[in-house]
């Protein structure tokens, strides 16, 4: 088979479409013939040499995919050869075939075709686990999403609206904010021109956001705490704005607020399987009737993954960039 390999860390040109051995499914695993994968920021960090795969995972990038079941490993039940699926991965999605733990497989949701399903597993599992399983967003509360036009952001908007929450977003252009509004965002904040703390306070009559989903990390830490409501919850999922920041414990105590930080890729298989099961139970029904849908900016051949990385690094996209095997 062919896969995208990284001989040494570097720019997008480090991604090479190479011939490699076929993977073989082990106990509790399934071999999937990949139709599409999607570009995530974690893939870019891996290419740059900053985010190695966890032990035992594929060395190839790619944290999600869609495709068809090609082979069942020992001990697998509930799936059959030929099933159309999408999957959450620890790596290996940028390839023609990938081995997946059976607990990380999902059937295609209602109304989503096989290619576009590749845009779902990583973002849906990330949003559901952080916004709902950890931060416990409730109907009537306000969610602030940084990077509202990203893959994570576009899904967070839709899921929050589906459960009856109010959504504020930050983005850097008018076009991106307009797309967020189309998905249901209520409060639109251009972070290049506006102070998101002031805008959120104004939109909530001084209360603040009940939950903040943050991809920036250190750069936004202090202001995120300022923007929280009493009993607010800050969920950090990225470090695009740096790793180390100063946390005002006094402000946190005064608001009886909480800060959580999670990653998905290196979690134990049992935890990832539990998240996937929760997504199948709670999110997949929302696709029926069009309450939630994947947002795909563009698709391109997987052999041209370097171009996909350039697009995402330039932040000119809205939603997900797909890499298609054929």
Question: What does the CA dihedral 148, 152, 157, 160 come to, rounded to 10 degrees?
Answer: -140
pLDDT for 278 equals 98
* Boundary residue ending a domain (244, 261, 278): 261
Verify that 106 and 183 share a domain, yes or no: no
Verify that 146 and 248 share a domain, yes or no: yes
Each residue of 124-158: b (16+ CB within 10 Å) or e?
A: bbbbbbbbbbbbebeeebbbbbbbbbbbbbbbbbb
Helix then strand then coil, % of the chain, to nearest 5: 35, 30, 40
Q: Domain range holding 100?
A: 2-122+267-324
Q: What is the mean pLDDT of residues 118-131?
A: 98
Q: What is the mean pLDDT of residues 136-141?
A: 98
Per the domain annotation, does 129 fall within a domain?
A: no
Q: Which stretches within 10-101 are classed as H helix?
A: 41-48
pLDDT for residue 106 is more than 90: yes
Query: What's the number of domains the chain is made of?
Result: 2
pLDDT for 199 equals 98
Interatomic CA distance for residues 158 and 136, integer angstroms: 16
Q: What is the mean pLDDT of residues 39-65?
A: 96
* DSSP structural state of residue 57: S
**pTM above the 0.95 mark?**
yes
**Cβ atoms of residues 98 and 34 within 8 Å:** yes
Verify that 179 and 257 share a domain, yes or no: yes
Verify that 141 and 243 share a domain, yes or no: yes
35 membership: H or E segment, kind and range? strand 29-38
Verify that 47 and 89 share a domain, yes or no: yes
Per the domain annotation, does 21 fall within a domain?
A: yes
pLDDT in tens, 229-285: 999 999 999 999 999 999 999 999 999 999 999 999 999 999 999 999 999 999 999
pLDDT in tens, 274-316: 999 999 999 999 999 888 999 999 999 999 999 999 999 999 8
Under the banding of pLDDT at 50, 70 and 90, the label for residue 326 is confident
pLDDT in tens, 144-199: 999 999 999 999 999 999 999 999 999 999 999 999 999 999 999 999 999 999 99
| CATH number of the domain bearing residue 254 | 3.40.50.720
CA 316 to chain centre: 17
Q: What percent of the chain has pLDDT over 70?
A: 100
Q: What is the mean pLDDT of residues 189-211?
A: 98
pLDDT for residue 19 is more than 90: yes
* Boundary residue ending a domain (223, 244, 261): 261
* Boundary residue ending a domain (261, 283, 299): 261
Interatomic CA distance for residues 305 and 300, integer angstroms: 8
Verify that 280 and 211 share a domain, yes or no: no
pLDDT for 289 equals 81
Verify that 35 and 106 share a domain, yes or no: yes
Q: What percent of the chain has pLDDT over 90?
A: 98
Interatomic CA distance for residues 264 and 88, integer angstroms: 10
């Amino acid at each position: 088979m062919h896969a995208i390999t990284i001989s040494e860390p570097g720019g997008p040109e480090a991604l090479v479409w190479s011939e490699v051995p076929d993977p073989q499914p082990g106990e509790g695993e399934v071999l999937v013939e990949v139709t599409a994968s999607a570009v995530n920021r974690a893939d870019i960090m891996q290419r740059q040499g900053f985010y190695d795969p966890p032990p035992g995972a594929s060395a190839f990038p790619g944290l999600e995919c869609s495709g068809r079941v090609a082979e069942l490993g020992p001990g697998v039940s509930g799936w059959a050869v030929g099933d159309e699926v999408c999957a959450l991965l620890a790596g290996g999605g940028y390839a023609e075939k990938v081995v997946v733990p059976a607990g990380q497989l999902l059937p295609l949701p209602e109304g989503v075709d096989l290619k576009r399903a590749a845009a779902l597993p990583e973002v849906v599992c990330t949003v559901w686990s952080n916004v709902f399983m950890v931060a416990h967003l409730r109907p009537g509360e306000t969610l602030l999403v940084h990077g509202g036009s990203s893959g994570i952001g576009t899904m967070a908007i839709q899921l929050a609206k589906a459960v009856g929450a109010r959504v504020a977003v930050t983005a850097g252009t008018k076009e991106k904010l307009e797309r967020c509004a189309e998905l249901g965002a209520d409060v639109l904040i251009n972070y290049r021109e506006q102070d998101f703390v002031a805008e959120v306070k104004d939109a909530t009559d001084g209360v603040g956001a009940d939950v903040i989903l943050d991809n920036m990390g250190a750069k936004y830490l202090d202001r995120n705490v300022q923007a929280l409501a009493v009993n607010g919850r800050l969920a950090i999922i990225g470090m695009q704005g740096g790793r180390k920041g100063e946390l005002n414990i006094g402000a946190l105590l005064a608001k009886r607020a909480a800060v959580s930080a999670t990653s998905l890729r290196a979690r134990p298989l049992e935890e990832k399987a539990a998240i996937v099961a929760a997504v199948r139970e709670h999110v997949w029904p929302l696709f029926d009737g069009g309450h939630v849908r994947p947002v795909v900016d563009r698709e391109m051949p997987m052999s041209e993954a370097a171009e996909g990385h350039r697009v995402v690094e330039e932040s000119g996209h809205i939603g997900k960039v797909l890499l298609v095997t054929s």
